[in-house]
Amino acid sequence: MDFSLNLGTLDEGKLRKIDENELYDVIVVGTGPAAVSAAIYAVRKGLTVGIIGLKIGGQVLDTNEIENIIGTPKTTGAKFAESLEKHMKEYEIAFKEGHLVKEIKEDGKDKVVITDDGKNYKTKTVIIATGAEWKNLNIPGEAEYTGKGVHYCSTCDGPFYKNLDVAVIGGGNSGVEAALDLAGIAKNITLIEYMPELKADKVLQDKLAERENVKIITNAATTEVTGTQFAENLKYLDRKTNEEHNLKIDGVFIEIGLAPKSGLVKDLVETNKIGEILINEYNMTNKKGIFAAGDVTEVKQKQIVVAVGEGAKAALGAFEYIIKEY
């Protein structure tokens, strides 16, 4: 199904259709905060810009309340996505919505971006801002209560659980760091790890051991989230005794890591062992003219405000590259 915008009938501001016959200065792949930031910063530098992706907002659309964007005390994922789109409409950006990029090829100094409908778009530079997705447990109740007691980011949503009881799933660095974040906010934290021992770095485990309001349960398989309007119970199985337990909770943080959406370029640019794209101080990859920004990269902090800044950096890097190379 083609979800492309009909720019002739919708109020799209200055947005225009992307054109196969044009050589763009920049094509941004993705439609999340990093991507929109990159597109706006690039066009403000006088570059011709195209942006391709499914829907403006990206992963933000799966977020309910947001309170950590500086200058915006409180908003929702949907409203923030609307503001991103409204801002983008202020500029003459070529937008292809409802489609994914399937391949990027090098054509001499230029690049060719190929979409899932077989269209080819030529550009001097590409900015990959496809984001990442939280790894799921895929247990009953997880999807049902996402945003209603089930969360994937302690930094984003932890403040909502002040003086309440929460569980953290995951004993790696992500899980232990989340438990440490929450220890100063929540009343009690129960950390549940599938393996017999925590996998986090020793320095993190030592810090966690100092927290009196953190209980650690290892060798446990989380099996289900239950509740009414919001999550209220977490079920887990003791893998040693095969006994099932029910834990009363106000919230659950599933912290088993992020999976970067880098499959598109895994054979084109250099990535680390978990698939994050490696970038330099200008946000350029090991391939000249290919940049990356946001959660798909090796940048440690996966936050909206960080992604916006990284998108701007990538656009400025692309501008400097074009000035020097073209």
Active site residues: 153, 156-157
From 65, 252, 63, 225, select the one nearest 149 (Cα to Cα). 252
From 210, 169, 161, select the one nearest 193 (Cα to Cα). 169
- How many Å apart are CA 110 and CA 319, to the nearest integer? 14
Give SS3 for 248: strand
Q: At a CB cut-off of 8 Å and minimum separation 6, what does 194 contact? A: 171, 219, 220, 221, 222, 239
CA distances 103 to 60, 80, 122, 266, Å, are 24, 29, 12, 11
114 touches 101 (CB < 8 A): yes
Give SS3 for 28: strand
Query: According to DSSP H, which parts of the chain are helical?
Result: 33-44, 77-88, 154-157, 173-183, 202-209, 304-325
- Let me know if 99 is exposed, middle or buried by CB neighbors in 10 A (0-12, 13-18, 19+): middle
Largest CA distance in the chain: 67
What residues pair up with 166 in beta bridges, in sequence order? 189, 251
Which tokens belong to 46? 């006088």
